[in-house]
Structure 1
């Protein structure tokens, strides 16, 4: 029995998938399958059964995997004891982030965390909140920061941690018909053509779910790139809705003006989400604490 075999069975159990365990360990699927088969042969038991829901542990497999996870935790504790300081910590963390958060608060989070742990490789993917959920559940992201949507409320496979609440505002081109205004009504805003941030073709993104409570959207464009949205808005072609956390991001822009809604509270909630099947490592715990700490300091916290 080898330690890597224990890692593999825990990973397969977490994601119910040999292919995902292989991807996360930079190995081929046959290599993972062979390793598990050899362990089953050595132990004389079957650890997994294939179902239409993926690789599911057998009853004896559940007990073995639980013990394996405990052994891995102890090994991680031993590694931490032998490290002289956090500067020597290495590893990868995959995090998926909603674009408005990525362009604002996430910058400080990355700077703070990388200063403490320069050898940790942070892989950040930017996406729309509902698409991020797919990455999280499939194991392609370890942690996500995004807007709370109906899809997150319905999912039973995740842990949701509230970070803060914010409100939506409008961004418009300075040369547009509303570009010189400081405030507008929600009715006037919804009467404008809108550009939505979508990494898929779904209309019900996190922002549009909030806006649909007040009326129908005149969706003119859907882009998966925030920079493209800014260019289209700056040209006066349409408006877009973004969280107020971005007000400083647009301050000083030559082409875009920020406009507040004066007769409706377009409240959104920013959350941190973790897959229940994902085992949180010590270094990920430190990242989570860094995220919580910096979000508590921001002016949008409540």
Structure 2
């Protein structure tokens, strides 16, 4: 049994195809088939069987693939310990939801590059559905998505169906975002009745229904729909409207640092809605040692700055 044979069966499991897996290793299909058959002969049982979806692991094969992933991960960790953190190399890709990108991308890039200068970290921004698709197709390694608690079950089913692992990083109540001269700026706690008749800045038209779910009467309110967060913040800073957002979207934000925008707590509505932030990555491909370091730094950065 050789390390490369373990890498071969992991990739066959990921691709569900010997021919597709062979492309990863720049080898021919017969050569990869021979490698897998030799391992099966050595173990004394079949690792894969074929069905309409392609090659899938047998019951014993699932255990073999799982153990193979652990061995490969441990090998990478041993190499990193021997070479030192600064000598870790490779390419990592991370896609963040827009609010998360604005708040944390810069500190993640500088922090990770300072600790692991030889790893090329690429961070991009995209909407939640696109992030899920990118992780599912392997276009990016990891992603950070955000959704409201009332969609939690739906989103978890979607991720489970796409073989995507998810870990909750943080959750937050919705807070009122107001300018420093707005009539509500002097109130520490905002009652739902205080919001009736107010002008709301609705980012991408997503929040009107959310306000109703929270128990806020919107029949007399005006809604300014914007598609750019900076425009949204400028309108609120000029005291021409207010918005509901979680606080974690505005870490490292100049509008708040300069006192132009402020948070205010809203009393609990009839249905308590929270915003949840999740880290997602493929269940079928093991995270490398460097990827696990990025995962750790990302979680520590977001949780540490929130608390």
TM bin (shorter chain): 0.5 to 0.7
Counterpart-to-counterpart distance in 2, 1:171 and 1:116: 35
Counterpart-to-counterpart distance in 2, 1:241 and 1:68: 47
- Listed as ranges, the matches of 1:116-131 within 5 Å are 116-131=115-130
1:283 deviates by 1.5
Does the CA contact (< 8 Å) of 2:199 and 2:224 recur in 1? no
1:263 is the counterpart of 2:267: yes
Q: List runs of 5+ in structure 2 lacking aligned partners.
A: 41-46
What residue is the counterpart of 2:69 in the other structure?
A: 69
Secondary structure in structure 1 of the residue aligned to 2:214 = coil
CA RMSD of aligned residues (A): 4.4
Counterpart-to-counterpart distance in 2, 1:293 and 1:96: 17
1:90 deviates by 0.6
1:18 deviates by 8.7
What residue is the counterpart of 1:251 in the other structure?
A: 256
1:287 is the counterpart of 2:290: no
TM-score by length of 1: 0.67
Q: Residues 268-296 of structure 1, C-alpha deviation per residue, up to 9 Å, x if partnerless?
A: 23332333223021122222222333344
Does the CA contact (< 8 Å) of 1:100 and 1:243 recur in 2? no
Match of 2:155 among 152, 177, 181: 152
Secondary structure in structure 2 of the residue aligned to 1:103 = helix
Secondary structure in structure 1 of the residue aligned to 2:213 = coil
- Listed as ranges, the matches of 1:86-235 within 5 Å are 86-149=85-148, 150=152, 151-154=154-157, 155-156=159-160, 157-171=163-177, 179=182, 181-182=184-185, 185-186=191-192, 188=195, 192=199, 194-197=201-204, 211=211, 213-214=213-214, 221=225, 223=227, 226-227=229-230, 229-230=232-233
Does the CA contact (< 8 Å) of 1:6 and 1:68 recur in 2? yes
The structure having more radius of gyration, on CA atoms, is: 2
Counterpart-to-counterpart distance in 2, 1:8 and 1:43: 7
Q: Residues 135-190 of structure 1, C-alpha deviation per residue, up to 9 Å, x if partnerless?
A: 2223233223332443433232343333333232344678xxx9553155556378
TM-score by length of 2: 0.66
1:114 deviates by 1.8
Counterpart-to-counterpart distance in 2, 1:140 and 1:169: 34
Does the CA contact (< 8 Å) of 1:15 and 1:277 recur in 2? no
What residue is the counterpart of 1:25 in the other structure?
A: none
Does the CA contact (< 8 Å) of 2:247 and 2:263 recur in 1? no
Q: How many residues align?
A: 279
Secondary structure in structure 2 of the residue aligned to 1:288 = helix
Does the CA contact (< 8 Å) of 1:169 and 1:258 recur in 2? no
Change (3 A) 1:229 1:31: same
1:115 deviates by 1.2
1:278 is the counterpart of 2:278: no
Change (3 A) 1:18 1:111: farther
What residue is the counterpart of 1:39 in the other structure?
A: 32
Change (3 A) 1:213 1:81: same
Change (3 A) 1:247 1:120: closer
1:133 deviates by 2.4
